[in-house]
Amino acid sequence: MADRTCPFQRGRAAEQNRVDPRAPAHAVRLLVQQEGREAPRALYEAFDAYNAEYFAGELKQSLILMTTPASPRAEGDYVAQDVHGIPSRIRIAPRCEQHGLLYLQDVLLHEIVHAWQAELLDDLESGYKGHGPKFCRKANEIGAKLGLGPVAPKGRGGLPRPDSWPSNVRPPGYYGAQLPAPGGRRRNARTRADGADGGPISIVSDPLLEGLGEVDRQLVAVLAKATGRPPGALIGAWAREHAQALASASPAIAALVAGIEA
């Protein structure tokens, strides 16, 4: 009895029989090919394609799981190593599947950029919650190949934010008619309105909206739809109101406004 070996001798087993940390990812991938549904199969295939096309094949196999991320509001997340010791784990919220494969693939592409940060730069840019200058540089490099406009950290310079890239820079309708307007990655709940037709709000491409953050653009779109006025007309009316309010408090602004309206 006393000599009974402990079945869980930590360390020793690990030395004798060291497991390839990527083995779980490869095993899940094989299982998905064999038993998985179409969506996860497509994601593993997309991983290969993106790795070859945008990362020179330098990324090792990530573990890709369609399961709820740590934050239930997020559509995806990435960790360089999970609690089990599994490296490069990508989770994609199952609800994303309702928007179609193109949407799922875009969420995956976003998370793969995080994998690239971790594996090749060893810098997840935590000061920027993952979406700093390095993330943006890579996203914009890929975006240029895809014909997408650039993003900037924290939306600097009036550019779209990287948090929702690339869905927030896809052209309207890219995901299909039944899908949300581009831009719903982290703010998915706000891409749908209680409009009479129940359909998604299309973010009108109005030059006056350029420079607005994604949330503001969507709020303007809600109001534009509710009032039946184009976003530019709404913004013009607000600017006039605001200018008049400021003019009543500042003679300098009053003079400027009077000059414009004359």
* Contact status, residue 43 vs residue 69, Cβ threshold 8 Å: no
Dihedral pair phi/psi, residue 88, rounded to 5°: 50, 70
Provide, rounded to whole angstroms, the least separation between the CB of residue 110 and Zn ion.
Answer: 5
Dihedral pair phi/psi, residue 222, rounded to 5°: -60, -50
For Zn ion, what does the binding mask look like between residues 77 and 116, x meaning CB under 5 A? Answer: ----------------------------------------
Give the binding-site size for Zn ion (rule: CB under 5 A): 1
Q: Which of residues 110-139 bind Zn ion (CB under 5 A)?
A: 130
First to last CA, the chain: 100
Q: Of the two residues 97 and 163, which places its CB atom closer to Zn ion in the complex? A: 163
68: β partners: none
For Zn ion, what does the binding mask look like between residues 14 and 53, x meaning CB under 5 A? Answer: ----------------------------------------
Phi-psi region of 77 (alpha: psi -120 to 50; beta: other; left: phi over 0): beta
Query: Read out DSSP for 66-120?
Result: ES--SSTT-SEEEEEE-TTS-EEEEEE-GGGGGG-HHHHHHHHHHHHHHHHIIII
153 forms part of the interface with Zn ion (CB under 5 A): no
Provide, rounded to whole angstroms, the least separation between the CB of residue 131 and Zn ion.
Answer: 6
CA–CA distance, 6 with 9 (Å, rounded to integer): 6
Q: Of the two residues 99 and 110, which places its CB atom closer to Zn ion in the complex? A: 110
* Contact status, residue 153 vs residue 143, Cβ threshold 8 Å: no
Provide, rounded to whole angstroms, the least separation between the CB of residue 15 and Zn ion.
Answer: 36
Provide, rounded to whole angstroms, the least separation between the CB of residue 114 and Zn ion.
Answer: 6
**CA trace torsion 164, 49, 140, 79 (10° rounding):** 50
Q: Of the two residues 91 and 225, which places its CB atom closer to Zn ion in the complex? A: 91
Q: Which residues contact 8 (CB under 8 A, 6 or more apart)?
A: none
Provide, rounded to whole angstroms, the least separation between the CB of residue 111 and Zn ion.
Answer: 7
Q: Of the two residues 69 and 130, which places its CB atom closer to Zn ion in the complex? A: 130
Provide, rounded to whole angstroms, the least separation between the CB of residue 10 and Zn ion.
Answer: 34
Token output for 169:
């820079």
160 forms part of the interface with Zn ion (CB under 5 A): no
CA–CA distance, 199 with 196 (Å, rounded to integer): 8
Q: Of the two residues 154 and 229, which places its CB atom closer to Zn ion in the complex? A: 154
Q: Of the two residues 130 and 153, which places its CB atom closer to Zn ion in the complex? A: 130
Q: Of the two residues 131 and 225, which places its CB atom closer to Zn ion in the complex? A: 131
Q: In the complex, which residue's CB is closest to Zn ion?
A: 130
Binding-site ranges for Zn ion (CB under 5 A):
130
